[in-house]
A and B are shown apart, each in its own frame.
Chain A
Amino acid sequence: MKFALSEKNYWLIHIFNGFILTVPILLVYVAMGLSFGFLAIDNGISPLNAILMSLLIYAGTAQLVGIQLIAIEASAFSILLTTFIINSRFFVMSSSIGRFLSQFKLYQKIFYACQLTDATFAIHTNRFIKLNPPKLELFTTNIIGHIVWVLSTIVGVYLGGRNYNFDSLGIDFAMPAMFIGLLLPLVLSKFHLLICIIASTLTILLYFLGLSYWTTLTSTVITIIIGLYLYKWNKI
């Protein structure tokens, strides 16, 4: 027997697909959100401010570095500048995903871009290069990710100050493992593999030279310039 859905029920499938796509990254979001919640309270941020950070900023690394800077009473200017530098990688991610958004209405583009994260960027790129995913599916992954990020921050805040340590459970490796799993499906040719190798080598080199938070953006820009040259070479 075949399970049939009438056309007007397609939206249910799209939401379901969006949910399924998000499940693997939720584990990582929960782990990160919890530790952010703990650390925010440890660093003297009020519960409300900690939750607002996850709601309004929604960028893990910038939030974690932000609370440490707030704790040492850094100037507002240096906190904002650091936020800018850490999140500068979103310039390239937003440009790249923007290619696929031309059919979106203005408010949809803005809403979509607000909830752009490293993980949803990778998942959606993978979807876009294979087919034209329904908007509902894309927004479902974004919204679920954001809600889970805020909720796990709230739980972290209320458990905070009790100094849990999840590291022995390997949670600190959840992020690297997630990014390996996000990257690999995008590597479809030998040329892509070459891009990976160039980007990784440059990253090590640039970090060694002391670029710290600028490393990601700088290595990406240099890699795509080299990549473009190699690509043109191969063609001629």
Chain B
Amino acid sequence: MEQNLILYTIIGMSFITLLIKIIPALLVSNYKIPDFLNKILEFVPIAVLSSMVIQFIIIDEGKINLSPTNEFIWASLPTLIVAILFKSLFITIVVGLMSIIVLRFSVF
């Protein structure tokens, strides 16, 4: 593709992304929203992050891999335990990286 055309595409992608990010925040913050909607929005962070976490772990090259050959499933176990124990983002990431390195050099 020609670079100018790519630039226009990028501007379009930027426009769409920004609208999706901005409009809901403006609507919710400007109007008084009903209680049940508030409750719904309270569940959103947990629901959306759970969904993303599980996709990162089980999807391997576009396909679901729930078999024991999926090293991410094994590495996520110690990571999860450390996350529960310490509730620290930094420690969780470090232990996560260590787990996958140990797995790759020992088992797989």
B79: which A residues are within 8 A, CB to CB?
176-177, 180-181
Do residues A170 and B52 form an inter-chain contact, with CB atoms below 8 A? no
Contacts beyond the supplied A52-B7, A114-B22: 15 A-B pairs with Cβ under 8 Å:
A24-B93, A49-B6, A49-B10, A70-B6, A76-B5, A76-B9, A87-B21, A99-B28, A175-B56, A176-B53, A177-B96, A181-B90, A207-B55, A212-B62, A216-B48
Nearest CB in chain B: distance from A142 CB, A: 11
Answer yes or no: B84 CB below 8 A from chain A CBs. Answer: yes
Do residues A80 and B13 form an inter-chain contact, with CB atoms below 8 A? yes
Do residues B10 and A52 form an inter-chain contact, with CB atoms below 8 A? yes
Alpha-carbon distance between A185 and B72 when the two chains are bound, in angstroms: 21
For window 37-80 of A, CB contacts with B under 8 Å fall at: 44-46, 49, 52-53, 56-59, 62, 66, 70, 73, 76, 79-80
With A170-B100, A200-B54 as contacts: A224 and B89 at CB distance below 8 Å: no
A93: which B residues are within 8 A, CB to CB?
44-45, 48
For window 205-236 of A, CB contacts with B under 8 Å fall at: 207-208, 212, 215-216, 219-220, 223-224, 227-228, 231
Alpha-carbon distance between A180 and B72 when the two chains are bound, in angstroms: 12
Q: Interface extent on B, as a size class?
A: 35 or more
**A121 to chain B: closest residue by CB:** B45
For window 158-188 of A, CB contacts with B under 8 Å fall at: 168-187
Contact of A95 among B13, B24, B76 (CB under 8 A): B24
B55: which A residues are within 8 A, CB to CB?
203, 207, 215-216
With A57-B17, A70-B6, A95-B28 as contacts: A216 and B51 at CB distance below 8 Å: yes
B90: which A residues are within 8 A, CB to CB?
23-24, 181
B12: which A residues are within 8 A, CB to CB?
76, 79-80, 83
What number of residue pairs across chains A and B have CB atoms under 8 A from each other? 279
Alpha-carbon distance between A100 and B33 when the two chains are bound, in angstroms: 12
Do residues A173 and B96 form an inter-chain contact, with CB atoms below 8 A? yes
Number of A interface residues in the complex (CB < 8 A):
94
Say which one of A3-11, A101-109, A131-139 lies at the interface with B.
A101-109
Answer yes or no: A32 CB below 8 A from chain B CBs. Answer: no
Answer yes or no: A196 CB below 8 A from chain B CBs. Answer: yes
Do residues B6 and A46 form an inter-chain contact, with CB atoms below 8 A? yes
Do residues A116 and B45 form an inter-chain contact, with CB atoms below 8 A? no
B107: which A residues are within 8 A, CB to CB?
none
Nearest CB in chain A: distance from B35 CB, A: 11
